[in-house]
């Protein structure tokens, strides 16, 4: 276990969505530490709260309860403007659908988040964008538009955009969800490379094969976080219950 200061600390995080008459409890008492240099996967079935959790981690949404400390700062109670500023400086977000802007070039897409950084001049922004595109092997497509690229290439550009701000952590929500398996594997291999280069990464996926590649695997069920050991214990108990049930029914039928 890493003993350095965590990049992310969540304590007692809950999220309730209020729609008309219905309350959806999307997250319950989530506690999580992610340390510098860790590669964590969060997996679980559709609707278990993965996107909700990642959106909170990425400061795209706020929790209904609990505490969130990001890189030493309590960000639980920040207003929208402060949240956007912290997000832009500390978080690199990779979406399932790439979310590139169609009428900006690759270079402009990668530079865009940097344009809100008052600490960076134009030359620095260009250099950062170029460096990030080099890291994902897309520097030779700098003047292309997203529509001129394959899905795999678009996701590489989106990864470069996430990297360019040198964030404290990369958060990826089903980054292979819109890709065929070959391109999906290439993106996963790239995340692995970035991790080996020192990046802190948290990937959300319902694909167990990709989740397995991470250094630490976290499972989410009905908005609750369970570790690997608990997950396997729960599964064993489920199987035993099922066996008992089948045994009973077999007994009745016989
Ligand atoms: N904006 C929202 N309004 C209401 N309910 C939501 C909203 N976003 C997500 N939910 C609900 O919260 C639960 C978790 O959703 P989500 O985090 O998207 O799951 P996952 O990403 O694991 O598929 C689901 O029951 C979903 O319907
Ligand atoms: Mg999701």
Q: What is residue 246's predicted lDDT score, i.e. its pLDDT?
A: 87
Model confidence at 181: pLDDT above 80: yes
Q: Specify the range with the lowest mean pLDDT, choosing from 181-185, 189-193, 199-203, 250-254.
A: 250-254
Question: Domains of the chain: which residue ranges?
Answer: 6-253
- The protein residues having their C-beta less than 5 angstroms from ligand 2 (an ion) are 50-51
Question: Which listed ligand is nearest to 53 at the C-alpha?
Answer: 1
Nearest atom (ligand 1) to Cα of 15: 12
Q: What is residue 38's predicted lDDT score, i.e. its pLDDT?
A: 96
CB of 49 closer than 6 angstroms to any ligand 1 atom: yes
Contact indicator for 187, 156 with CB cutoff of 8 Å: yes
pTM, two decimals, is 0.88
CB of 71 closer than 6 angstroms to any ligand 1 atom: no
Model confidence at 10: pLDDT above 90: yes
Model confidence at 1: pLDDT above 50: no
**Mean predicted lDDT score pLDDT of the chain:** 92
Mutate to test the pocket of ligand 1, among 26, 48, 55, 221 (most ligand atoms within 8 A of CB): 26
CB of 18 closer than 6 angstroms to any ligand 1 atom: no
Q: What is residue 253's predicted lDDT score, i.e. its pLDDT?
A: 52
Model confidence at 87: pLDDT above 90: yes
Backbone φ and ψ for 73, nearest 5 degrees, come out as -115, 135
Model confidence at 188: pLDDT above 80: yes
Question: Which listed ligand is nearest to 42 at the C-alpha?
Answer: 1
Edge-to-edge strands of the sheet including 216-221?
91-94, 169-173, 201-205, 39-43, 216-221, 224-227
Share in percent of the chain as helix, strand, coil (round to 5): 45, 25, 30
Ligand 1 center–CA 126 separation, angstroms: 37
Confidence of residue 3 (pLDDT cuts 50, 70, 90): low
Ligand 1 center–CA 16 separation, angstroms: 10
Ligand 1 center–CA 23 separation, angstroms: 11
CB of 52 closer than 6 angstroms to any ligand 1 atom: yes
Pick 6-253's CATH classification: 2.40.110.10, 3.50.50.60, 3.40.50.300, 3.30.70.1350. Answer: 3.40.50.300
Model confidence at 2: pLDDT above 70: no
For 20-65, give the DSSP string: TTEEEEEEEEEEEEEETT-EEEEE-STTSSHHHHHHHHTTSS--SE
Mutate to test the pocket of ligand 1, among 13, 16, 17 (most ligand atoms within 8 A of CB): 17
Radius of gyration of the chain (CA): 20
Which residue's CA is the closest to the ligand 1 atom numbered 17? Answer: 49
CB of 178 closer than 6 angstroms to any ligand 1 atom: no
Ligand 2 center–CA 173 separation, angstroms: 7
> What confidence tens digit (pLDDT) does each residue in 56-80 have?
999 999 999 999 999 999 999 999 9
What residues contact 58, with CB distance under 8 A and at least 6 apart? 87, 91, 93, 171
The residue that leads in pLDDT, 82 or 206, is 82
Average pLDDT over residues 146-155: 96
Which residue's CA is the closest to the ligand 1 atom numbered 8? Answer: 52
Average pLDDT over residues 116-137: 93
Cα distance between residue 158 and residue 11, in whole Å? 30
Confidence of residue 197 (pLDDT cuts 50, 70, 90): very high
């Amino acid at each position: 276990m890493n003993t350095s200061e965590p990049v992310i600390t969540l304590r007692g995080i809950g999220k309730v969505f209020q729609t008309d008459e219905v309350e959806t409890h999307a997250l319950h008492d989530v506690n999580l530490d992610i340390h510098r240099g860790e590669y964590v996967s969060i997996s679980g079935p559709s609707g278990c709260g993965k996107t909700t959790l990642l959106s909170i981690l990425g400061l795209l949404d706020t929790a209904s309860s609990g505490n969130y400390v990001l890189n030493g700062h309590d960000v639980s109670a920040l207003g929208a403007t402060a949240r956007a500023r912290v997000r832009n400086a500390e978080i690199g977000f990779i979406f399932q659908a790439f979310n590139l802007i169609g009428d900006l070039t690759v270079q402009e897409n990668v530079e865009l988040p940097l344009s809100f950084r008052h600490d960076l001049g134009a030359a620095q922004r260009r250099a950062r964008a170029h460096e990030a595109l080099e890291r994902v092997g897309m520097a030779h497509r700098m003047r292309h538009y997203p529509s001129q690229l394959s899905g795999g290439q678009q996701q590489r550009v989106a990864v470069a955009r996430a990297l360019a701000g040198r964030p404290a952590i990369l958060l990826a929500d089903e980054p292979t969800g819109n890709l065929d398996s070959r391109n999906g594997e290439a993106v996963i291999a790239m995340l692995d490379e970035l991790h080996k280069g020192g990046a802190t990464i948290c990937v959300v996926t319902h694909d167990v094969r990709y989740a397995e590649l991470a250094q630490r695997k976290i499972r989410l069920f009905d908005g609750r976080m369970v570790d690997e050991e608990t997950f396997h214990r729960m599964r064993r108990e489920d199987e035993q219950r099922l066996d008992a049930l089948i045994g009973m029914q077999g007994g009745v039928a016989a």
